[in-house]
Structures are given as structure tokens and as C-alpha cells.
């Protein structure tokens, strides 16, 4: 039986910043200071963000 798991769509810092409409530098500061838990994924020296985590972040900010 071959069950294929869906992998989350991963964005690099530049793409994630554009998706959130902030600068890549702002996103880097948020990660460094742990201001928001965007659950970044480290792949060697690269940082990636799962789109569904960014969506959760945006949805949480839109709730009254």
C-alpha cells in the first residue's frame, strides 16, 4: 500500500514576507526576538515557512 503524505508548501523568507506584506528584515526580527511564533523551519542555513502556519497567523490577527 503506497500512501503519499502531502507536504506543506514551504516559502523562503522573502516569499513569506511578501505573503504577510512585511519586509524580510521585519520577519527576521520577529524570528530572532520570538515576537510571533511563525514556526520557522531551519534547513541548514536556510529558513522556510509553511504557508498554513502563515495563514493561521493571519487568521489569529483578524479575530475580534
- Whole-model pTM? 0.80
Alpha-helix runs per DSSP H in the chain: 13-20, 24-33, 51-62
Residue length of the chain: 64
Per-residue pLDDT tens digits for 4-63: 567 779 999 999 999 999 999 999 999 999 899 899 999 899 999 999 999 999 999 865
Is 42 within 8 Å of 51 (Cβ atoms)? Answer: no
pLDDT tens digits, one per residue of 44-61: 999 999 999 999 999 998
Amino acid at each position: 500500500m503506497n500512501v503519499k503524505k502531502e507536504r506543506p508548501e514551504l516559502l523562503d523568507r522573502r516569499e513569506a514576507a511578501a505573503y504577510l506584506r512585511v519586509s524580510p528584515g521585519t520577519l527576521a526580527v520577529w524570528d530572532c526576538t520570538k515576537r510571533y511564533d511563525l514556526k520557522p523551519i531551519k534547513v541548514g542555513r536556510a529558513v522556510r515557512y509553511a504557508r498554513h502556519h502563515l495563514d493561521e497567523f493571519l487568521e489569529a490577527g483578524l479575530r475580534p
